[in-house]
Amino acid sequence: MSSEGSGLSARAVQTVGSLDCATQWGNDDLEVLSTPSILGHMERLCAQVMERFMNPGEMSVGVNVTMHHRAPTPIGAQVEYHVQTDSTDRMVTFTFRVVDEGGNVVCDGEHLRAVVNNARFHERITLLQSPASGTGPEVEA
């Protein structure tokens, strides 16, 4: 992780594997880097950047994402993720891009994350899972 200007940034390199492919998401015969895989790697990198300025007992959660998946990337190819933000507030907007070995932009966009209290967030999950709340998943027999 490095700091650029007044913001924070990070980069990570990934070699595309079979578990990263669109075939994992119902797109048979598309052994290329999937949009969900890109989203997961990008979110994880943004969360790591935010850990640097959060207080104990806080965590970040994804709130919104806008992304443009522009080009296919086959198994075995490497991509580089770049994320950057100019904010260290409670709501942080990242810009990101994923670039292949040839310098082509594979995907780019923006991702919004929020800093939340870890304990209160987990309490809310517990309440939502409670049968008394009436909002839990229905089970069919």
Evaluate if residue 6 carries a pLDDT over 60. no
Distance CA 75, CA 63 (A): 30
- Assess if residue 141 is contained within a domain: no
- Assess if residue 14 is contained within a domain: yes
For residues 70-91, average pLDDT: 95
Strand partners, 29: none
- Assess if residue 138 is contained within a domain: no
- Assess if residue 139 is contained within a domain: no
- Assess if residue 115 is contained within a domain: yes
**How many structural domains does the chain have?**
1
Tens digits of per-residue pLDDT, 23-39? 999 999 999 999 999 99
pLDDT band at residue 117, thresholds of 50, 70 and 90? Answer: very high
Compute the mean pLDDT over every residue in the chain, rounded to the nearest whole number: 90
CB atoms within 10 A of CB 27: 13
- Assess if residue 140 is contained within a domain: no
Range of the domain at 45: 2-133
Q: Any idea what the CATH number is for the domain that residue 66 is in?
A: 3.10.129.10
Q: Which two tokens stand for residue 91?
A: 């709501």
